[in-house]
């Protein structure tokens, strides 16, 4: 990393408001093990968390680098863009992304040795998906496929994977609890893309928000938050304690009301943080319900 770039700037550039998307699936997937009356392997849980966090930070730096060199981050609102703002060189940001990918690979390798070698394949696919979101010759994030990828990797794969490294199997319960986690991860990206919609449209970045248009993008965001709440309540068939997540419905409705009222640009920066907090709190409540 560049010596001229303060550590605080690197921390801000890592987009910490998105980190709940990495923490939530590990919490929920691990807690489900306790519900199955099995002991939790805490080392595997910590390794899964380190993999998830490393990948989230890596994809944030990779996006900063790829969008920066393409010029699609010029004159943006929202989190600091290191390359576009010239706070760090493109090479330094790319190296930061590669360092985080390396960390994820090392933690993943240790986990694969402890659990199963097939985890290496899942890890390679996850890293390729993270890089090609905005990187490479034909980034799929520019074609409106970002939300689908986030649901798969930060919802299904991360949650079910955190369960598998403990249980060595997949169950319908692990799939069910992955739905609210994935929906809220998608909501984080959806509100981010809604905020950037006008600028993305100008530079030819065809995110799903751009493809859907402003009003439909807001409806999709609403559907994601409602899906997360409804799926959490349906998880009551696993244990009635998950019904406690209903306390987050007013918070969800408040966020939805703000977005549906037409909030845009800088107004959605705080909303991004609120969705991140909602994901962390709802997932923590879901995890506690499953744990106890």
Question: pLDDT by residue (tens digit) across 202-232?
Answer: 888 899 999 999 999 999 999 999 999 999 9
Tabulate helix, strand, coil % of the chain (nearest 5).
75, 0, 25
* Residue 75 pLDDT: 61
Tens of pLDDT along 56-114?
Answer: 999 999 999 998 888 776 666 667 789 988 889 999 999 999 999 999 999 999 999 99
Higher-pLDDT residue of 49 and 273 is: 49
Tokens standing for 55? 């990948």
Contacts 24+ apart (CB under 8 A), 149-152: 150/21, 150/182, 150/185, 150/186, 150/188, 150/189, 151/182, 151/183, 151/185, 151/186, 152/182
What predicted TM-score, i.e. pTM, was given to this entire model? Answer: 0.90
Reported as a pLDDT band with limits 50, 70 and 90, residue 2 is very low
Q: What are phi and psi of 124, to 5 degrees?
A: -60, -45
Contacts of 102 (CB under 8 A, 6+ apart): none
Share of the chain above pLDDT 90, in %: 73
132-150-142-65 Cα dihedral, nearest 10 degrees: -50
Domains of the chain by range and CATH?
Answer: 7-291 (1.10.600)
Residue 80 backbone phi and psi in degrees, to 5: -60, 130
């Amino acid at each position: 990393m560049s010596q001229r770039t303060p550590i605080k700037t690197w921390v801000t550039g890592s987009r910490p408001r998105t980190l709940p998307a990495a923490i939530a699936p590990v919490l929920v997937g691990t807690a489900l093990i306790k519900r199955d009356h099995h002991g939790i392997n805490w080392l595997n849980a910590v390794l899964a968390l380190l993999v998830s966090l490393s990948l989230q930070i890596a994809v944030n730096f990779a996006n900063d680098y790829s969008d920066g060199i393409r010029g699609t981050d010029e004159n943006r609102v929202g989190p600091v863009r290191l390359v576009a703002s010239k706070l760090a060189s493109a090479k330094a940001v790319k190296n930061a992304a590669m360092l985080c990918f390396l960390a994820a690979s090392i933690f993943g390798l240790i986990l694969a040795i402890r659990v199963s070698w097939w985890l290496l394949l899942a890890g390679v696919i996850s890293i390729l998906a993270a890089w090609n979101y905005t990187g490479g010759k034909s980034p799929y994030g520019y074609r409106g496929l970002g939300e689908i990828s986030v649901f798969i990797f930060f919802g299904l794969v991360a949650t079910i994977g955190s369960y598998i490294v403990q249980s060595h199997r997949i169950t319908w319960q692990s799939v069910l609890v992955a739905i609210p986690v994935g929906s809220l991860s998608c909501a984080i990206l959806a509100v981010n893309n809604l905020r950037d919609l006008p600028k993305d449209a100008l530079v030819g970045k065809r995110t799903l928000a751009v493809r859907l248009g402003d009003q439909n993008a807001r409806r999709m965001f609403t559907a994601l938050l409602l899906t997360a709440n409804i799926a959490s309540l349906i998880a009551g068939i696993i244990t009635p304690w998950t019904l406690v997540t209903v306390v987050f419905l007013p918070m969800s409705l408040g966020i939805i009301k703000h977005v549906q009222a037409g909030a845009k640009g800088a107004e959605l920066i705080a909303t991004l943080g609120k969705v991140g907090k909602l994901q962390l709190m709802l997932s923590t409540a879901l995890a506690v319900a499953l744990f106890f």
